[in-house]
Amino acid sequence: MLIDSGLRSVALALALSGLTAFADETPRQWSYADCVEYARTNNISLRQSMLSEESAAISLEKARGQWQPSLDFGTNQGYSNAPWSNGSSNAYTSSYNLNASWTLWDGGKRDSDIRRSQTDVERSRYASDNIMRNIRTELLSTYINILYCKETIVVNSQLAEVSRAQADRAKQMMESGKISLVDYQQLETQAKQDSYNVVSAQAQLNSAVLQLKNLLELGIDSKIDVLPYNFTEQEVTDSLPPIGESYQLALSTDALMRYNELSTEIAEEDIKAANASRYPQISVGAGVGTGYYTNSTGGWGTQMKQGFNENIGLSVSVPILDRKATKTAVAQAKVNKLSSQLDTDARRIEVAQTLETWYIDMESSRMRYTAGLQSLKSAQLSDELANEKFKVGYVELTELLQSHSAVVSAQRELLQAKYMAVLARKMVEFLRTGEVTL
């Protein structure tokens, strides 16, 4: 099939510009582990989530502080003027007070607040873990896609070399009168098509590398490449563990599942804290004070001594009407609890669906890969035979084109099946354990 020359030129220019840009500096080769660790340290969303962890820890300290007594010191310094007074018209007054108070009982609200804050600290950690899990799965998918693009370039380059050799041979045969100009042009078109496939694969690789840079949030001037990785036959063809076992493991390692469960626990504590407002609050207070007044008898020291006083008291506050504040707070906390429980149920279903999808993809890709090996072997044998016949001028051009097209299709199918199987296996591995080796 003829390829539009304008489209070819644009694609070639794009590929060459990309190659030139990357040729200025040899990019560093990153392993998958390198990508993960870099993202763990530098990803902005993750760092913001870690700040939320610190905020939750501060809230916990505040909640614990409610058990401590309060202590405050106060003083008042005043000056007054009474110009028509019979005595002194000017007076200076001062007072000093030290007061302490402590809540003996508040219906258990402080305990609920502490438990809530402790749970919130743990929940904030799982929020960060969930962000990191999402980053890791995106990195894994992109990393494997880059490996796929690289191998596609290698395979397409080999096919392009073969078709170019056939086109060159056809040109010689045309010049010697063994084949027609039309036959030669068909082989030349095939060679250009295969060369275009190389350019297209390179463009796909550049796009995948850019996606990896974006995931890592690297600067525009950063150069990046990935380390080569050779997947074993077992990683492509071996069966996965039982799906039921994987499902239970996935639930136990899923950060978002645990986050939702902790949200339910927090809502339960909110219900307890809201109900605590129905009970009386008992607190004890004590204080000491003294003062000084210039128009009073005695000097400063005498007045400070004689004016010294102590007080202690017990206060009880019994709620009667609070304009439905407690009732609505309890109702809202119950709604939040139900919402968290629904989120947990929804996540459980989502994990099951995700896992089942990867299992189906793995099995389908594994079957495609096994069949693709046989298909490629058969196509290569036919292509080799047709090519040998062509070299001696004993083959129909249609047979040569068809055999080459069959090899191209078989190679493409095999590569797609291979990397889809690998991706599915690695995703299942990650869902089961929260870790992945690559």
Tens digit of each residue's pLDDT, the chain (438 residues)? 333 444 444 444 444 444 444 444 677 899 999 999 999 999 999 999 999 999 999 999 999 999 999 999 999 998 877 676 665 667 888 899 999 999 999 999 999 999 999 999 999 999 999 999 999 999 999 999 999 999 999 999 999 998 898 888 888 888 888 878 988 898 899 899 999 999 999 999 999 999 999 999 998 888 999 999 999 889 999 999 999 999 999 999 999 999 999 999 999 999 999 999 999 999 999 999 998 887 777 788 888 888 899 999 999 999 999 899 999 999 999 999 999 999 999 999 999 999 999 999 999 999 999 999 999 999 989 888 887 877 776 667 788 888 888 999 999 999 999 999 999 999 999 999 999 988
Q: Which residues contact 228 (CB under 8 A, 6 or more apart)?
A: 147, 150
What is the DSSP secondary structure assignment for residue 238, as one 8-state letter? Answer: S
Specify the 3-state DSSP secondary structure of 324. coil
Q: Which residues contact 180 (CB under 8 A, 6 or more apart)?
A: 174
How many angstroms separate the CA atoms of 99 and 287, rounded? 4
What is the DSSP secondary structure assignment for residue 416, as one 8-state letter? Answer: H
Identity of the residue numbered 220: I
What is the DSSP secondary structure assignment for residue 86, as one 8-state letter? Answer: S
**What is the pLDDT at residue 395?**
62
Residue with tokens 């007594």: 69
Residue with tokens 């904030």: 124
Kindly tell me the burial class for residue 179, based on how many C-beta atoms sit within 10 Å of its own C-beta (0-12, 13-18, 19 or more): buried
**What is the pLDDT at residue 15?**
46
Q: Which residues contact 367 (CB under 8 A, 6 or more apart)?
A: none
Specify the 3-state DSSP secondary structure of 2. coil
What domains lie within the chain, and their CATH numbers? 5-68+106-279+319-433 (1.20.1600.10), 69-81+88-105+280-318 (2.20.200.10)
Contact 419, 236 (CB under 8 A): no
State the CB neighbour count (10 A cutoff) for residue 190.
24
Structure tokens at 142: 């992109």
What is the DSSP secondary structure assignment for residue 74, as one 8-state letter? Answer: E
Residue 281 Cα distances to 278, 320, 325, 422, 429, angstroms = 9, 12, 16, 63, 54
**What is the pLDDT at residue 393?**
67
**What is the pLDDT at residue 329?**
94
CA terminus-to-terminus distance, the chain = 39
How would DSSP label each residue in 266-320? Answer: HHHHHHHHHHGGGS-EEEEEEEEEEEEETTSSS-HHHHHHHT-EEEEEEEEE---
CA atoms within 13 Å, Cβ hemisphere of 3: 20
Indicate the pTM of the whole model.
0.84
Kindly tell me the burial class for residue 399, based on how many C-beta atoms sit within 10 Å of its own C-beta (0-12, 13-18, 19 or more): middle
How many angstroms separate the CA atoms of 431 and 68, rounded? 45
Contact 243, 359 (CB under 8 A): yes
Q: What is the three-state SS of 347-393?
A: HHHHHHHHHHHHHHHHHHHHHHHHHHHHHHHHHHHHHHHHHHHHHCC
Contact 116, 414 (CB under 8 A): no
Structure tokens at 125: 């950690």
Backbone angles phi, psi at 232, to 5 degrees: -80, 165
Instruction: Report the DSSP beta bridge partners of residue 249.
Output: none
Backbone angles phi, psi at 96, to 5 degrees: -140, 130
How many angstroms separate the CA atoms of 167 and 170, rounded? 5
